[in-house]
Amino acid sequence: MGIFNKIRTDGVTYDGQGEERKGLIEVIQYNGEADELVWKFPYNNITNNAPLVVNESQEVIFAQGGKYSEVFGPGTHTLSTNNPVILRKLRNLAFGGNTPFTAEVWYVNKIIRRDLTFGTIEPIPAEDPDYDVPIPVRSFGEFGVQIVDASAFVQQLVGTAHEFTTDMLIEQFEAFIIQELTSAISKTIMIDKISVTKINAYIKEIANAVRDAITEEFAQFGVRITNFNIKSLNYDKDDPTVKEAMAGRANRARLKQLSDQVDMYRIERQLDVMETAAGNEGGAGQMMGAGMGLGMGFGVGGAFGQQMGNIAGVMQQQPIQQPVAPQQAVAPIPPPPPTATVWFVLINNQQYQYDINALGQYIQSGQVTRDTLVWKAGMAQWVKAGESPELQGFFGAPPPPPPPPIV
């Protein structure tokens, strides 16, 4: 629709066209477009006693001299000097029964519009709790509105305009909707600690939060929110930041898997050594077999190794009273998998590399002592082998200090 070029009482339209339309307007009825929420009747000189036709789900607002004074609901109304307040003021005019008067008439459509759309123009950066980097998130959906207070809507949003469409309503409120949408998504990701990879499970909760936030704002302008739905909540998997974060997470998962494999290998090797020792005849085998039972009660790993070390120390302090049968041939220990932890050992100022199984054999043979310096990845510095919790199980308990000489 156009804009007022002239304000006249000779029956012209507000866009200044239509000489053939001059004269008194005898019928007032709606002739707007389907997407119009508000449509202004295009003539401003109206005949007294003219019928006003208001369709279902419509209301008509009259104004004169810039003041809104009358609201008509559905039906056919006769505009007479006995009807609207604005007409009663015209009684003293020296005209006949068809007294002309100047008034502005707005038709307000109060049907529910459910297909209004919204969407993020720019992605929303949110610090993802799983990746520890900002992930750009996008969202779009639809919402519905209904004008419930025609006077408030026309006075606060329409003003002197001759039409107000659904696109104009979206333009008025889109920034506010996106602001509340951004707030709800950011809270879900950063405060509730929900990753963008799982956020689609929370679409309904986010949509309800946004709807609650915008309902009060729309109500100030006579508009009711009838529905608010998020159709999509996603992130760009081709974004460089996203690709880097995904790759980092995959690497961390692989490292954890390798670490678990190394820990399991270490446990299995310790069990192999203990089983072999327990199978030997004599006191040592009996004690070691008992030690295995005790060790399993203390948990596998460092605590298990420490328990075995204590038992081995006791065995060294107590001489065996019976002959020891020749040791059975021990099958060679298989090499560790490529992922086994590498220990660096300093012997005679030379560095050597061993896995923990080979290092344990050198400890038991005496080539590596408690004072030998060792280091592996993750340790802050070189330490003595006897001070490493992981290697203590390979050492027997140290003998007590010798008694003082007899004088």
Q: What domains sit in the chain, N to C, each tagged with a CATH number?
A: 19-109 (no CATH), 113-236 (3.30.479.30), 253-316+338-394 (no CATH)
**Percent over 70 (pLDDT), the chain:** 64
> What does the alpha-carbon distance between residue 269 and residue 144 come to, in Å, rounded to a whole number?
68
pLDDT of residue 371: 92
Provide the pLDDT confidence category of residue 49 given band limits of 50, 70 and 90.
confident
Tens-place pLDDT, residues 23-43: 556 788 999 888 899 999 988
Tens-place pLDDT, residues 362-391: 898 888 999 999 999 989 899 998 899 888
Fill in the DSSP letter of residue 21.
G
- The one-letter code for the residue type at 159 is G
Provide the pLDDT confidence category of residue 179 given band limits of 50, 70 and 90.
very high
> What does the alpha-carbon distance between residue 252 and residue 240 come to, in Å, rounded to a whole number?
18
Provide the pLDDT confidence category of residue 219 given band limits of 50, 70 and 90.
very high
pLDDT of residue 42: 86
pLDDT of residue 335: 54
A 10 A CB-CB count for 123 gives 16
Q: Which residues pair with 144 in a beta bridge?
A: 227
pLDDT of residue 201: 92
CA-based nearest residue to 24, from 64, 79, 91, 84: 79
Distance of CA 3 to the CA centre of its chain: 46
Provide the pLDDT confidence category of residue 153 given band limits of 50, 70 and 90.
very high
pLDDT score of 401 more than 90: no
pLDDT of residue 86: 47
Q: HEC states along 277-310? A: HHHCCCHHHHHHHHHHHHHHHCCCCHHHHHHHHH
pLDDT score of 239 more than 60: yes
pLDDT of residue 20: 43
A 10 A CB-CB count for 86 gives 20
> What does the alpha-carbon distance between residue 87 and residue 64 come to, in Å, rounded to a whole number?
9
A 10 A CB-CB count for 254 gives 10
pLDDT of residue 395: 86
More confident residue, 351 or 81: 351
Long-range contacts of 347-353 (CB under 8 A, 24+ apart): 347/372
Residue in this structure with the two tokens 């529910």, named with its chain if needed? 112
CA-based nearest residue to 146, from 74, 205, 222: 222
Fill in the DSSP letter of residue 28.
B
CA-based nearest residue to 141, from 189, 178, 194, 192: 178
Task: State the burial class of residue 49 (Cβ atoms within 10 Å of its Cβ: 0-12, 13-18, 19+).
Answer: middle
> Range with the lowest mean pLDDT among 82-91, 177-186, 372-381?
82-91
Tens-place pLDDT, residues 268-313: 766 666 666 555 555 444 544 444 444 444 444 454 445 445 544 5
What's the full length of the chain, in residues? 407
Tens-place pLDDT, residues 133-145: 788 899 999 999 9
A 10 A CB-CB count for 350 gives 7
Mean pLDDT value across the chain: 75
For the entire predicted model, the pTM comes to: 0.53
